[in-house]
Amino acid sequence: MPTFELTKAALPEGVSLVWNEAIGNFSLADAKISAWVDLLQRYKDEGVPIDGIGVQGHSISKRQNLTEARAFLEKVVEMGYTVEITEVDAPITVFLGDDNNTDPLQEQADLFADYARVCIEFPNKTCKGITFWGLSDAYTWYDFSLPVRLPICLF
């Protein structure tokens, strides 16, 4: 894949090339995810110089299944890539209207903590980092995608 080779060649020595992707869900049973895993394996077999895989953690309309996320990330690490969890955010609307009558802000904080735990628990520091979005309500892309500005909580 010439794009990755050219990009890697332009990077300073010691800087990792990470392919960051919004995949929507993490289910290995999903045809899109399965095809991407196959592509990653093919790239690894062909020596394409990708060091790590970043997966975006947007939870725009539903909570991500973090058991599936962990299984997906483990598969990627087994191929020899490092992983990063990027763009973790979740509007409070994801947590409103649940039948369990729990505190939506606590549920949101729990989701963020669960994402962090997924990364921290990877062996040998193969999860290189986690990036949260939405730390300030003053600057959020949700203003352009959701009709109402709502609080964003981090822990």
pLDDT at 8: 92
Beta strands, E only, the chain: 18-21, 52-58, 82-89, 127-132
Kind and range of the H or E run holding 144 = helix 142-145
Fold of 2-7+17-145: TIM Barrel (3.20.20)
pLDDT for position 155: 44
Residue spans of the domains in the chain: they are 2-7+17-145
**Low-confidence spans in the chain with pLDDT less than 70:** 1, 24, 61-62, 98-101, 135-155
Tokens 């997966």 belong to 55
Q: How far is CA 69 from CA 9, 57, 73, 84, 152, in A?
A: 31, 9, 6, 12, 22
pLDDT of residue 52: 95
Per-residue pLDDT at 151 = 55
State the pTM of this model.
0.80
